[in-house]
Amino acid sequence: MQPGVTEPRRRGIYLLPNLFTTATLFAGFYAIVAAMQGRFIDASTAIFVAMVMDGLDGRVARLTNTQSEFGAQYDSLADMVSFGVAPALIMYEWMLHGLAKLGWAAAFIYVAAAALRLARFNTQVATADKRYFQGLPSPAAAALSMGFVWTCVSYDLNGFSLSIVAGVLTAATGALMVSNFRYHSFKGLDFKGRVPFFVMLLIVLGFVFISIDPPIILCALFFVYACSGPVLTPWQIQKARSERLRKGE
């Protein structure tokens, strides 16, 4: 290269992590189509598939050192479809339509909350504590909602009272997404390092436990996670205050 001539900027995108993001987007789109056809179990499981793909794209990008601004923005848009729009539409097609205007209002609260939560996350990602999420993460919110749908459809539960429960759950999940409650991010887990053998055994037992009754167990797990924010955040605040008082600050 001649002196004074700058190297042209390389154009293009990293393929591997964006393949997982595209899979997330496809699963969310498939879930919407399945819900429109009344296949709510397929729609719910598709959201869980999207959740797995979403968890892989970021880790693959970090492991292969292929992070990019394009990937971050693409991931955020895919999350909005798969964990914002899709769960709300599935809930509406399944039960919320029975509540008329209240039903679509609850669904819109969820969609708006997911959008606000993702926008807040994108603006705070550089300064936020990596150990915690502020507000319930949208994939976890979607998993809780879809676990509820999957459970009710599997056990043939229906009725107007269930529509009310679905509406309350949808609106409450949206409120948790835009709340200031702190949720563990589990980003401190090291997948590259060595672990004791019993850890692998625990993972296998975890899969066996979930396979006993996937809809109920997944719904229960994410319900506990959703409740962990309101329960643990006041305790963490009180603990921090006690430490400051002990240090004389």
Instruction: From 147, 190, 139, 193, select the one nearest 21 (Cα to Cα).
Output: 139
Instruction: Give the model's pLDDT for residue 190.
Output: 61
Query: Is 177 contained in some domain?
Result: yes
- Residues 183-242: pLDDT tens digits? 988 776 665 667 677 777 888 888 898 889 999 999 999 999 999 999 988 888 787 777
Mean pLDDT to the nearest integer, 148-175: 96
Query: Is 51 contained in some domain?
Result: yes
- Residues 120-137: pLDDT tens digits? 998 887 777 778 888 999
Tell me the pLDDT of the chain averaged across its residues.
87
CATH number of the domain at 60, please. Answer: 1.20.120.1760
Residue % of the chain over a pLDDT of 90:
59
Q: What is the number of domains present in the chain?
A: 1
Query: Is 4 contained in some domain?
Result: no
Query: Is 43 contained in some domain?
Result: yes
Q: Do 70 and 11 form a contact (C-beta atoms < 8 A)?
A: no
Q: Do 166 and 97 form a contact (C-beta atoms < 8 A)?
A: no
Query: Is 135 contained in some domain?
Result: yes
Range of the domain at 161: 15-188+196-247
Whether pLDDT at 34 is above 80: yes
Whether pLDDT at 179 is above 90: yes
Query: Is 1 contained in some domain?
Result: no
Whether pLDDT at 116 is above 80: yes
HEC string of the chain equals: CCCCCCCCCCCCCCHHHHHHHHHHHHHHHHHHHHHHCCCHHHHHHHHHHHHHHHHHHHHHHHHCCCCCHHHHHHHHHHHHHHHHHHHHHHHHHHCHHHHCHHHHHHHHHHHHHHHHHHHHHHHHCCCCCCCEEECCCHHHHHHHHHHHHHHHHHCCCCCHHHHHHHHHHHHHHHHHHCCCCEEECCCCCCCCCCCCHHHHHHHHHHHHHHHHCHHHHHHHHHHHHHHHHHHHHHHHHHHHHHHHHHHCC
